[in-house]
Structure 1
Amino acid sequence: MAKMKKTGEAVNLEEKLQSFTDHWGPKIVSNYNDCDIMVVKGKGEFNWHRHDDTDDFFLVLKGVLQIELRDRTVVLHPGELFVVPQGVEHRPVAEGEVHLLLIEPVGVPNTGDPKTAAQKVAI
């Protein structure tokens, strides 16, 4: 997994999001205190998964994201964020395309399991 160098330059999230079209493939745009800051486009259902060693941070930039938990569904609109607690099984779902900002410790697979995770790519 790529680790970006800190450049001291501003990152334009909209430009980064316009540079790709795939869904559920996180793109690293910067690093912060040993965490990857990523953007991702989502559409449809992602996998049910959990992170045993870390929380899972979601910030909606555009669109609507539903985060299904086993006991409820959290609905997020632009400007809203939700942190899935460590070890809680969840599934992100987007009926239309959604743009997200994600923050995860460097090296953490996006599904919590390296066998099923999408590879993080620095852009």
Structure 2
Amino acid sequence: MSRTIISSDRAPKAIGPYSQAVKVGNTIYTSGQVPFDPATGELVTGDIATQTRRVFENLKAVLEAADASFADVARVGIYLTDLANFAAVNAVMAEYFKEPYPARSTIGVAALPRGAQVEIDMVAVKE
């Protein structure tokens, strides 16, 4: 099966040897996004809600580059450096998703790139 590399200049460039997303068949796998401003490449400042919104906006840009949207997302993976931020991240996620919600995991991690507090990846299926 062939792979199509997906990229958007409205999301931060990859900071390593990976693509923003890869489409295989009708499935889109996004790489994890952290709250980097795509214009500057710098971590956004602010509370966890501000950082989480930036992550979802970055993912929205990548999905749109694949002709997809949050309505096509089947699974979300969330990585937090502080699980006390769980409720705040849930509240922001509810701004971007409507029922029926995708499957999701939330995992506490020791650290994320450049001191980010949140990283999110997704799997979408575009029929």
- Shorter-chain TM-score range: 0.3 to 0.5
Q: TM-score, normalised by structure 1?
A: 0.33
- The TM-score, its normalising length taken from structure 2, stands at 0.32
